[in-house]
Amino acid sequence: VKKSMEEFSRANPNLPACRKTWKLHILVPLSCDIYDDLEKADSNIQYVTELTETTLARAGIKKRVYKHSLYAITDEENQLWHCAVEYATPLQTLYAMSQDECAAFSREERLEQAKLFYRTLEEILRGSKECADTYRLIAYEEPEEAETRFLSREIVWHLRQEHHEEISVLEQSHPPSPSTALDSAELNLQISVSDLPQPLRTDGF
């Protein structure tokens, strides 16, 4: 991702470059409700281009293609922020299960599994040297009342945090976090150790 973002930056020298934001931003909505088109989720998010593809052999698939989309996000001051962003796609399966009566998968169970997914994904990424400083997880709870600019504000808040990190690692003051912004510590507080969600199957299959 960093290499692709660097190529984009060289091709667009008129755009401000913040290297701290050159990572994959992974959206983790705890509702598991995912839009296939981010532009429909929030009109302040606009598709720009596809970043350079990566081709790898994976699980018997020759030349499997991995690619990420670059978006321009407009903040409340009409400033543009560019970043690679996408949803954590496994959450889409959890949402589909909760909509199917045969799955007997309640909204509460879906929320617990989404939190477990977030914490597990975070642990995996933190334990990978290859993934160090190449991603940012953005977990959030959507407001009960629909807000047309909610998602763009959520992403921009994280981009600003990264921008502040690049400007000065000693800077202590940060803009206030949106009430919906979540991190692993908060997610841990919301679920007691004795009540941690368990894998959906416990019979070993």
> In CATH, what number is assigned to the domain containing residue 132?
3.40.50.12100
Expressed as residue numbers, the domain containing 31 is 1-170
For 140-150, write each residue's pLDDT tens digit: 998 877 788 99
pLDDT over 80 at 203, yes or no: no
Cα distances (Å, whole numbers) of residue 18 to 25, 82, 194:
14, 9, 42
pLDDT value at residue 60 = 93
pLDDT of residue 180: 54
Q: Give whole-number Cα distances, 202 to 96, 123, 199, in Å.
A: 21, 21, 7
Q: Other C-beta atoms within 10 Å of 117: how many? A: 19
Predicted TM-score (pTM) of this structure? 0.79
pLDDT digits (tens, 9 = 90+) for 152-202: 999 999 999 998 876 654 345 455 555 455 665 566 545 544 455 555 544
CB 71 within 8 A of CB 38: yes
Q: Is 194 a member of any domain?
A: no
pLDDT of 184 reads: 57
For range 95-120, the mean pLDDT: 89
- 21/81 Cα distance (integer angstroms): 9
Q: How many angstroms separate the Cα of 150 from the Cα of each of 25, 30, 92, 153?
A: 16, 14, 20, 5
Which pLDDT belongs to residue 46? 96
Asked whether the predicted pLDDT for residue 130 surpasses 80, the reply is: yes
Q: Does residue 87 lie within any of the structural domains?
A: yes
The mean per-residue pLDDT over the stretch 87-99 comes to 91
Examine residue 108 and state whether it is found in any structural domain, yes or no: yes
pLDDT digits 0-9 by tens, 33-73: 999 999 999 999 999 999 988 898 988 999 999 889 999 99
Domain count, the chain: 1
pLDDT band at residue 204 under the 50/70/90 scheme: very low
- Render the chain in DSSP notation, one character per residue: -HHHHHHHHHH-TTS---GGG-SEEEEEETT----S-HHHH-TTEEEEEEPPPEEEEETTEEEEEE--EEEEEE-TTS-EEEEEEEE-THHHHHHHHHT-GGG---HHHHHHHHHHHHHHHHHHHHT-STTTTSEEEEEE---SS--TTHHHHHHHHHHHHHHHHHH-TT----PPPPTTEE-HHHHHHHS-GGG----S--S--
pLDDT of residue 6: 87
Strand-by-strand arrangement of the 69-74 sheet:
45-50, 69-74, 80-87, 24-29, 135-140, 181-182
**What share of the chain in percent tops pLDDT 70?**
80
